[in-house]
Amino acid sequence: MSWLTDYVRPKLRGLLQRDVPDNLWTNCESCGQMMLVKELEKSEKVCPHCGHHMRASARERLEWTFDDGEYTTIELPKMPVDPLGFKDSKRYTDRLKDARAKSHLEEALVVAHGRIKGQKAVVVVMAPEFLLGTMGAALGEAFVAACRLAVLQKAPLVIYTASGGARMQEGMVSLMQMPRTTIGVQLLHEAGLPYIVVFTNPTTGGVSASFAMLGDVHVAEPNALIAFAGPRVIQDTVREKLPEGFQRSEYLKEHGMVDIVAKRSELPELLGRLLGLLTRQKKSESGEAAA
């Protein structure tokens, strides 16, 4: 053994194999480019290379939306945890415990109130980090509670949708939330309050077939998947090749189901403007009706 083997090689290996934190870098899921996590957080999780809007947590969306990131959350209504006693490869109650531990949320939806560009608003954010944002009885009841809060505060309601659809572990109970949540939207309409839906990727299944499609204005982030059944299911059913960009934000805007496609950084300003315009319009309509 020479001094090169005994001394120099270990030193060089130590220099080359310095520990690098696992959470320092990440790759864009669209273009594959590597970027610093801190830089990605500064850009609100939008890839600086291709503009792809990555998945964001419920807390992040609230901080980006409200003025100075200041808001107040409400406690969600308590609901039966496992109405069907469901079990597949794992007990449903265990899945819920894991989801709560990982996300630090009680359910796949967060309700908060505060101001957006000076406009008072109640904001609902669906959390894809909690069982893919699936809709069960607790989520349906929480959405109705948000609508009641908006009526109580006489404030518009904004919702960021992100969901894999109905929660299969609750069976028919989950599907019943589709008409249940439309009752909440009706409460807003009867009170003359604006209701704005912001579609994020993905918004699918029972959510897209109920309260997500009932907004006064539909805004969407770029290239978000918005659908009831996914494109692969539809293509296998109709046995035809689907148009390019089918069921994406831009395609739905061209076909009248989405009003505005906006980048994430533009949303607070856009929402503030829409809330101001719609609030004045609703007041004017209610004044004319009274006259």
Binding residue positions: 28, 31, 47, 50
Amino acid 149 reads L
Binding-site members for Zn(2+) are 28, 31, 47, 50
Calculate ∠ Cα 127-90-85, nearest 5°: 85
Alpha-carbon distance values, 136 to 78, 213, 231 (Å): 12, 18, 24
In 3D space, the residue among 118, 72, 165, 153 whose CA is nearest the CA of residue 271 turns out to be 118
> Distance between CA atoms of 242 and 232, rounded to whole angstroms?
9
Rounded to whole angstroms, the Cα distance separating 274 from 278 reads 6
Q: Are strands 217-220 and 195-203 parallel, antiparallel or unpaired?
A: parallel
Cα 146 to Cα 67, 86, 214, 232, distances in angstroms: 19, 28, 15, 34
